[in-house]
A and B are shown apart, each in its own frame.
Chain A
């Protein structure tokens, strides 16, 4: 489009940089704020330009000019040259105002910034040291837009800063060009409009919202994969991660303008003695996910590190580590893993190394050792080492006690401290949230109908939540291989669901009077509604499953007295198994705040994942672990958000008593009793008809 009748203002970047260009007679020397016509655009970044005033023609570097449209050019031609810039600036402000009310921001120029690469066009408004504005007309930035790791990185950075542990001596990422670029790629909608980056104060919020919006884009395949990571990361994990991420970021920043990760940074080939030994036993797909691998190769990958310059790889690696540590018990034992990690730590140097090579290898070893310690930290902090395999803890302490060399000794000491801290800390099962005032429970004399449905719903929620938080990843993963089963926390959690179903049925069927039955149904519908409001989908589903079960739904005459039938029908839509309980899935997606999820469909997912992706002998199907990790993260996602509900002792004990009692009933009892009730209903109806017929 520019080739047709292009017009350009030309702005010398700085006055000092131009003379070197003007040495060449083919070049067209130009002044700041000049307007030139472009006649030819070369790929090389050198454009042929013509100065209309004196028909001078020559090459100009494209990086120093910026396209303007004909209309603006005409107007600017009639402006004095030294005022053109301001005029132009005002014009830009004016045109950008409609789409973006934020005025173009300024950022301090960085001395020694390498010349920008060709696709971007810069306009320098003022002399060096003064504010600078980028008016990038081509949205195609150097940062890969679809790269999720950047989002991840920013998230971590933010959390890191919120923790107020941000090292003071580091330059603020806000002032780095990286950060301002990130705005651009994070807000694709704004790419087309020509305007500057938002001002600094707005930077943080822009990133957050954009990242959230991006995370919601379901078409992006990698987002669901990373979401659990974003949400799981808390506390210490974030700290270590953000340290790494930050390190990577700063190096990136210092290395100059953005480069596309990995591909453009020429990495020297690693010498043979630093190469991973088992990498040929690893099968990686195009997205960098490990599909298959032998145990040795997987453990090696665990302690391998991608270039710290490569943030995408870093994020992938963190994900890999988390998947590995959550699922390794499905393909090996903790003892084997521990021994392999220790062996990696104590790795012997390869033979035939020259002195220089040995030194390099040694540096590499220390880095590997540091990573081994980091894996232990993650295992301890996030992956339940103490709960799951206490025998490892003592071995680990012993192992750490032997580390005395200066670079790693402090890290080892820290780890030992972590172990003792975790050992002696009181396990806080339910994260504390300030409970609301306890409800005044009226004397209910064991009559359900005298209770407040809201109270029942709240206490049920509290009970279910307590059982839900106890569910561990291992419960979920071990779920499908029956051999390892038994009474797990998951069974208890699922069992509560069944108990509630039974209770609902019994409470209705045990009433002889039709009116009482109808009110009990009404009562339960209210409970279900309240449960839904509280995001307690486990109880909600249990109640409506009970109500819609055959033994209850066949009592037509009872239902005729129920006014809230429509409410129940609306709730039942969520309980449709169609599309793998698509109703629940979408409901759960939208949840904010505390929640007790309904997890039946995730359990099916887990079985399908394990049937679909299977290990092939030595080759462990890591993709299966990755998928399982995603599903387990989805199941446990809400564990960290506690309800602020106070326990009401009388109601709670009432609930617990009934959940215990009613479950003892034989399944045939429901059927017999239901038949009995139904027949008496019909008999009463017949009597009434008879009476009516007799004239009463």
Chain B
């Protein structure tokens, strides 16, 4: 529909996954992240489940199509399907600063990540609900220290007041863009996921040409 003057303008596809304990505010974080700008993946997703959201943004002059997968409500199932992790370049781990339990559960989530995604997948630890400062149970420093140990980014947010929400998503995307192995072609991702040989088949996430590098990566037909 829209005229595309420069066919060379590449759109980088990013798949992000939101995980964390129940009630830490995963879905509200997603809701808050640029509230009304959501493009429903198709007509039906607006009515049947909205755990898969597509969002377009520009980071550092590059167009990025974000697809964010939310696992909210699925914590009753300890084993969520590994398909969620397939091809994810960024993982957003959420805990609730006013709920110690949700912070203590983080090692379990990290061990799950170890199983399913490669090491270079970008991880960000998000301490949500800082608006509840009065009932805070996890100090910022502790969260920061844990994130550093797990070589993750770290940010505190509030989905309620939207403090830090956009920054969190942009931070992840920026880091993904800084890690070309994540989005340049299949090989890098495929081999390194699953912690070695025989891991999950890597998702192909690059559509079109990578800008400024002139390399063809057209084989990346993305499901999004």
Contacts and interface: CB of A to CB of B under 8 A. Distances in A.
* Real binding pair: yes
Interface of A: 479-482, 490-491, 494-495, 497-498, 501-502, 541-542, 545-546, 548-551, 553-556, 572, 575-582, 585, 600-601, 603-608, 611-612, 667-668, 671, 678
A585 B72 contact: no
A545 B115 contact: no
Given A553-B200, A581-B49, A479 B76 contact: yes
A546 to B, nearest CB: 8
Interface in B21-46: 22-23, 27-28, 31, 41-42, 44-45
A608 B23 contact: no
Contacts of A491: 76
Contacts of A495: 76, 78
Contact of B50 (A498, A502, A555, A580): A580
Contacts of B197: 554, 556
Contact of B51 (A498, A545, A601): A601
B48 A550 contact: no
Contact of A608 (B27, B81, B84, B223): B27
Given A541-B81, A550-B199, A575-B81, A490 B50 contact: no
B71 interface: yes
Given A608-B72, A612-B31, A667-B111, A550 B82 contact: yes
B198 interface: yes
Contacts of B69: 577
Interface residues of B, number: 43
Contacts of A481: 23
Contact of A578 (B23, B52, B200): B52
B23 A480 contact: yes
Contact of B76 (A494, A551, A579, A582): A494
Interface of B: 22-23, 27-28, 31, 41-42, 44-45, 48-52, 69-74, 76-84, 108, 111-112, 114-116, 194-200, 223
A550 B45 CA distance: 29
A167 to B, nearest CB: 41
Contact of B79 (A497, A581, A606): A497
Given A577-B81, A579-B42, 7 more contacts: A479-B73, A549-B79, A550-B194, A600-B74, A601-B49, A604-B27, A608-B50
Given A481-B23, A482-B22, A550-B194, A580 B49 contact: yes
Contacts of B81: 541, 545, 548, 575, 577
B16 to A, nearest CB: 13
A491 to B, nearest CB: 6
Given A549-B82, A577-B52, A668 B111 contact: yes
B51 A580 contact: yes
Nearest to B79: A501
A548 B82 contact: yes
A580 B48 contact: yes
A581 B22 CA distance: 19
B46 to A, nearest CB: 10
A600 B77 contact: yes
Contacts of B44: 579, 582
Contact of B77 (A480, A494, A546): A494
A548 B81 CA distance: 9
Centre residue among A481, A498, A579 by max chain B CB count within 10 A: A579
B198 A555 contact: yes
B41 A579 contact: yes
Contacts of B50: 580, 605, 608
A553 B198 contact: yes
Contacts of B200: 550, 553
B100 to A, nearest CB: 14
14 contacts: A498-B78, A501-B79, A548-B81, A554-B196, A575-B81, A580-B48, A604-B74, A606-B73, A607-B73, A608-B49, A608-B50, A667-B108, A671-B115, A678-B198
Contacts of B45: 579-580, 582
A504 B204 CA distance: 29
Given A550-B116, A576-B83, A600-B74, A611 B52 contact: no
Given A577-B52, A581-B49, A603-B74, A611 B28 contact: yes
A485 to B, nearest CB: 8
Contacts of B51: 577, 580, 601, 604, 608
A630 to B, nearest CB: 10
Nearest to B159: A611
Given A479-B76, A481-B23, A576-B83, A554 B48 contact: no
A555 B114 CA distance: 17
B79 A577 contact: no
Of the candidates B69, B72, B79, the one having the most CB atoms from chain A within 10 angstroms of its own CB is: B79
Nearest to B193: A550
Nearest to B114: A671
Contacts of B79: 497-498, 501-502, 542, 545-546, 549
Contacts of A553: 194, 198, 200
B199 A554 contact: yes
Given A550-B115, A600-B77, A604-B72, A579 B49 contact: yes
A490 B76 contact: yes
Contacts of B194: 550, 553-554
The 6 A-B pairs with the shortest beta carbon distances in the complex, nearest first, are A580-B49, A554-B198, A607-B73, A603-B73, A494-B76, A604-B73
A550 B76 CA distance: 21
B2 to A, nearest CB: 24
A313 B7 CA distance: 55
B94 to A, nearest CB: 13
Contacts of B72: 604, 607-608, 611
Nearest to B194: A550
A579 B114 CA distance: 26
A604 B71 contact: yes
Given A482-B23, A491-B76, A604-B73, A545 B48 contact: no
B104 to A, nearest CB: 15
